Amino acid sequence: MFKPLHHILDVIENQPGWLTQQQFRLILRQWAEVVGETVADHTRPTGIDRQVLWVATSSPVWAQELSYKRQMILRKLSHLLTQKFGTPAQSALTDIKFSPKYWQHPNFSTKNPEPILAQHPSYLPPLPESSPPDLLTDSQSVPHPVPEERLSQSWWQKIQARSTHLPLCPQCQCPTPPGELDRWQCCSLCATKKWAY
């Protein structure tokens, strides 16, 4: 029996190797509360690497100013992570690095990451809520599915509807986002195979 996607993601994310990703997602959600709205408008956490939080800033001045305040911000974040994930040894950040190097999108807001996502070559805009009827499975051909199966069917129908209008990869003939074709002249899977050799 199929399980809902959110259930599967919860199981995966609760595995020990996903702790850093969970910490980073919490920091993204709480960043404006920790540093204040003004600072949040000029900064963007970009990742955690070896217990160091990397933060992009809108200018070198912001990077320098915040490097002086990093111990205070670090204490607040460590307290937040300890409350959520347990003992400090499991959730401690050891440092924060501020840099304008990765500030590519000054209008980025952690509340609305859509502008950043739209820059990725594999990005496809969300589908409208209603899919064209000719792409959906005939409801009479499926004998009363249980709710989990309905969710899986709905997801699969949306994927099919989306891929119907995509151009094909010249190598594998699979539907491919146009951004991938623009960047690599093939789909990301075929591009990865080329890089492996």
Q: Which helix (H) or strand (E) holds 42?
A: none
With beta carbons less than 8 A apart as the criterion, state whether 78 and 93 touch: yes
Rounded Cα–Cα distance for residues 116 and 35 (Å): 21
| Percent over 70 (pLDDT), the chain | 66
Give residue 138's pLDDT.
47
Range 83-104 average pLDDT = 78
In CATH terms, the fold of domain 8-113 is GMP Synthetase; Chain A, domain 3 (3.30.300)
For the chain, count helices (H), then strands (E): 10, 3
Q: Closest Cα partner for 100 from 139, 166, 44? A: 44
Computed over every residue of the chain, the mean pLDDT equals 76
Give residue 137's pLDDT.
46
Q: Closest Cα partner for 180 from 34, 15, 171, 105? A: 171
Identify which has the larger pLDDT, 160 or 179: 179
Question: 109-137, pLDDT tens digit by residue?
Answer: 445 555 556 667 777 776 655 544 444 44
Question: 35-92, pLDDT tens digit by residue?
Answer: 999 999 999 999 888 889 999 999 999 999 999 999 999 999 988 888 887 765 556 7
Token pair for 177: 């986002």
Residue 161 has pLDDT above 50, yes or no: yes
Q: Where are the domains of the chain?
A: 8-113, 163-197
Token pair for 191: 């591009």
pTM for the model: 0.48
